[in-house]
Structure 1
Amino acid sequence: MDDIRDTLRVAGLFAAGVLIGTVCGLLLAPMSGAEMRGVVKEKALSLKEKTLEKAEQLKEKAQELTKKAEDMISEQVVEIEEELAEEEGKED
């Protein structure tokens, strides 16, 4: 669970950094309105791509962690069932 939170935190910080850098760059660059709109559009598309890539990575990580948790739970269920079977065998 902490891994997911850490990954989400890193992704959020990354996106915030990209956004802040983009805004600063746009505000400090001397351009005409048309040029500025082109740059904004380009940066927005780039940010969208990076965000989608990060989202996909997070999705894959979440799937891995879910699978790992399911495997661990399955192992525990088997162990508990075996212990219960042993207990029943001792009682008979």
Structure 2
Amino acid sequence: MEQNKHVVYILQCRDGSLYTGYTNNLQKRLEAHNAGRGAKYTKGRGPVRIVYHQRFPTKAEAMREEYRIKQLPRSHKQQLMKEAHDDPAVQLSGY
């Protein structure tokens, strides 16, 4: 079984809004969002781009983090995105 396959991500929509979600296949989920099938919220707001993602060993951990992030104000989400961008260990390229 693949380690850390559970991913929490933040998308930036074409209108500048942010969407937080969970997946176990980030590339496939991004393609679904951009095809208008990913989530009701992102439908019609595409194209979207990944601005943050974090991997977790279990679905339960990822779901807890997704919920936590969804409760944050936009400014805190932007801070998460900035920290991830500034951290060389976080790889957003390819998405």
TM over 0.5: no
Q: TM-score, normalised by structure 2?
A: 0.23
* Greater radius of gyration (CA): 1
Greater RCO structure (CA 8 Å; 6+ sep): 1
Q: TM-score, normalised by structure 1?
A: 0.24
